[in-house]
Chain A
Amino acid sequence: MIKLEKRPQPSKAWTYLTPLLAVALTMVVGGALFAGLGKDPVVAIKTIFWEPLFSEFAFYYRPQLLVKGAPLVLIAIGLSLGFRAGIWNIGAEGQYIMGAIIGAGVGLAFYPMEAFYIFPLMVIAGAFGGWIWAMIPAFLKVRFGTNEILVSLMLVYVAEQLLASASLGLLRNPDGHGFPGSRNLRDYASAHNGDLIANTGMHWGVVAALIAVIFAYVLLNRHMLGFHIRLTGEAPRAAKFAGVNPSRLILICLGASGALAGVAGLFEVSGPAGQVSIDFNVGYGFTAIIVAFLGRLHPVGILLAGALMALTYIGGEIAQSKLGLPAAAIQLFQGMLLFFLLTVDVLTNFRIRLAKREVA
């Protein structure tokens, strides 16, 4: 009989080991899944994890790693602040879209003027777009006690409709022969978020993601606000006793995660994506939830998890094109990662004991 026994305090070692174990389990079960689809599991796993980094074409894939990883890390850092405090922003995807629309909108409003301040203004507008979208669930929760999970999630679908509307109407390229989508910001130097060093994938979003990691680390470990965030998540009553104002914390956490998702959207739309289009969003806002948990809600962990997730994205695409694996199988593979992480998580707080049956 297997028994779970609560540890007197969470195991430090397992806190770090569980993500690795989860990755290993995902490889094993994912491999079985690929085998079931008639592919060689070893080749498939190798394609996903190895090819993007060390293959012949790695020079092309490596910059992609930064391009995919940056928005994931940026969004996940913001989400992790709220998750730490038990405030569940599930709608980062919507905030990401709103940041992109409003940020790109500000940039396009200046077209075709060239000025150094346009891009900074777009970044601020992007942050504002995400922030205001997150303020809706925050305000409703503080004022009426609504559930932020539902409200923020629903607002994703509203944002998607606004995105469609913007790319078909308000922001549509006047010189685009009636095709949906805005002007391409790549052709507008003042608004373009290009590679800082050519062909490295290193754009402003990557810089922002790294700054966010450092900032979150300092906040959580050295600052009173970070302490209050952690305290609220661990023991809400003790937090109240310590003097934390829960409403203020909700506004701060949802606001911060919204703003970070918003700038992530702006960096994407002004750089890798280039334009506001109907299918601009690809689910970074949802995948970032996995990244946040995979990284143990720890800033450095999120950085590593973001890199890993980006790897599976790119590797997954290679596997699709080279091995003909269905896209759904790749998504399943990524979902497994979170599933196994949550499953083996139990080991941090419990130890497994093979107990003999108790003597009667």
Chain B
Amino acid sequence: MTGTLLKLNGLTKAYPGVVANNNVSFEIGKGEVHALLGENGAGKSTLVKMIYGLVKPNSGSMVMNGEDYAPVKPSAARQAGVAMVFQHFSLFDALNVAENIALGMENPPKMRDLAARIKEVSETYGLPLDPFRTVGDLSAGERQRVEIIRCLLQDPKLLIMDEPTSVLTPQEVDILFETLRKLSAEGTAILYISHKLEEIRTLCDNATILRLGEVVGDCVPRETTARDMAEMMVGSKLHVPERTGGDIGPVLLELNDLSVASPAEFGTALKGISMEVRSGEILGIGGVAGNGQDELLGALSGELLTKAGTIVLEGDDVSQMGPVGRRKLGLLTAPEERLGHAAAPDMSLIENAVLTGSVREGLEKNGFLKWGKARNFAETIIEKFDVRTPGPGNAARSLSGGNLQKFVIGREVLQRPDVLVVNQPTWGVDAAAAADIRQSLLDLAAAGAAIICISQDLDELMEISDHFAALNEGRLSDIRPSKGLTVDEIGLMMGGAHGMEVAHV
């Protein structure tokens, strides 16, 4: 644990119109677990892409082990001992583990030797994995193991991990951390990218904080509070959403044994989901991505029709009703994918306001659109939800992710829904905007609406929800009061470690 492994000197990378990294310098020691912390758009990805040889810096230099380091392509970076586990896996479902790993190698050894090595490495680091299992059958956590083992076979000196825990249950996170600690003890440095502060506090030795492409500070996470780190990331005092505590009223939405096949090829079917949401209540639904979240939202929005009687809104059976009818009755939704699903990228904000607002806001009469009224509605959303844009005539795709998300949530909230269903309401949104969005959901609930918040961000769900349930392979766990739930209990509701063996280190 001595000496510097990688030193960055004034790395700068500018794209037209935006400086992604400006004069970034820091050091990573041998065997150090170093956190790279920052909001979305702070420049974390660009920085690691430069280290991994995917992007060339405009200026600045890197020194690895005392020698100049300027990788021209990822294979050069790998040669130098840098490996990276991406947030999105690049694995072929139809091939087995060993075949997938062989595909990524320049000179793959014989399959039998490779399988033996995979077994050896996986056991050494407490990541049990059968080299001959088909990747399509693996859970997200196991797929990540394949990626990690692929990296470990190169015997890396520096392992870069981009948001590795976003697809894991808390139990799976523990297993991963054990492995990372073991690697670090053996002298492998780890550059850990995340915006989850508690994780960084448990795992990392040092943290570098980026904001708007510049290093704004560093800290020892164990000695710094999560709040202080968050404020360094955001650059201002953080507003914590408050709940005013409305009364829980009558049941507004009821799901009775809802089962439906997924319209997508590799989607997850919903299996026997029953629940009820009451006026003034926020029901948080957690779960690892791909466990039926999109399908649940589709079934509630009316894009996916279900058997009669399965969805009851204030006494009306809406299971066979399309999105327009449901909106008329007060059931509003905001899907996860902003561009292309919740909003049309090339259309103006005015047109996007019409997209869901035409019925409840009276933006049409006898089929003819009232553009003046639509513009007013769009302007109201922009003003009330602090959407940063030159004007409502701008295309949706010209907005940043966070601003568009505020627009999408604002569009639904301002229509005064009786029931609002949101999927990943703050995904990819900076902390300040996320706090605003959460506050608006709390206010809406306090005013008597029932809210279902589907999210993979457990902290978010614990912060705003009254009740909590988890989706696991299309099934919904028991619904329990959020207050007093422990991380272990939540993890078990999400499917525990998905049958993965715990590290034997």
Binding site for B on A (CB under 8 A): 5, 8-10, 222-225, 227, 230-231, 234-235, 237-243, 245, 353, 358-360
Contact = CB atoms under 8 A, between A and B. Distances in A.
B369 interface: yes
A225 B337 contact: no
Interface in B314-350: 322-324, 327, 333, 335, 337, 339-347
A224 B368 contact: yes
B56 A359 contact: yes
Interface string B353-374: 0111010000010011101000
B58 interface: yes
Contacts of B56: 358-360
A359 B345 contact: no
Contacts of A223: 367-369
A359 B70 CA distance: 11
Contacts of B458: none
Contact of A227 (B340, B345, B351): B351
A354 to B, nearest CB: 12
Given A227-B354, A231-B347, A240 B340 contact: no
A192 B58 CA distance: 73
Interface stretch (B37-45, B377-385, B390-398): B390-398
Interface in B1-49: 16
Contacts of A353: 16
B59, B346, B364 interface centre (most CB from chain A within 10 Å): B346
B368 A237 contact: no
A239 B367 CA distance: 16
Contacts of A10: 346, 395
A238 B408 CA distance: 12
Contact of B367 (A224, A238, A243, A360): A224
Nearest to A10: B346
A5 B16 CA distance: 9
Given A223-B369, A359-B58, A238 B343 contact: yes
A188 B323 CA distance: 54
7 contacts: A9-B397, A234-B346, A235-B339, A235-B343, A237-B341, A243-B324, A353-B16
A241 B335 contact: yes
Contacts of B341: 235, 237-238, 241
B367 A237 contact: no
A360 B70 contact: yes
A329 to B, nearest CB: 38
B342 A224 contact: no
A227 B163 CA distance: 39
Interface string B49-90: 000000011110000000000101000000000000000000
A237 B355 CA distance: 12
A224, A225, A360 interface centre (most CB from chain B within 10 Å): A224
Contact of B347 (A224, A230, A241, A245): A230
Given A223-B369, A231-B347, A235-B345, A245 B356 contact: no
A359 B56 CA distance: 7
Nearest to A355: B16
B303 interface: yes
A237 B337 contact: yes
B344 A224 contact: no
Question: 9 closest A-B pairs (Cβ-Cβ)?
Answer: A243-B324, A9-B395, A243-B323, A235-B344, A8-B398, A234-B344, A237-B341, A238-B344, A9-B398
A245 B322 contact: yes
B502 to A, nearest CB: 40
Contacts of B287: none
A227 B70 contact: no
Nearest to A245: B322
A358 B355 CA distance: 42
Given A223-B368, A227-B354, A235 B59 contact: no
B356 A241 contact: yes
B303 A241 contact: yes
A353 B15 CA distance: 12
A358 B49 CA distance: 15
A4 to B, nearest CB: 12
A240 to B, nearest CB: 5
A132 B394 CA distance: 41
Contacts of A358: 56, 58
A222 B368 contact: yes
Nearest to B333: A241
B323 A241 contact: yes
B301 A224 contact: no
A253 to B, nearest CB: 16
Nearest to B340: A235
A299 B327 CA distance: 32
Given A235-B340, A238-B340, A224 B335 contact: no
A230, A231, A240, A353 interface centre (most CB from chain B within 10 Å): A240
A306 B371 CA distance: 30
B369 A227 contact: yes
Contact of A231 (B302, B342, B355, B397): B355
Contacts of B369: 222-224, 227
Given A235-B346, A238-B340, A243-B322, 9 more contacts: A10-B395, A223-B368, A224-B364, A227-B369, A231-B355, A234-B345, A235-B343, A243-B327, A359-B58
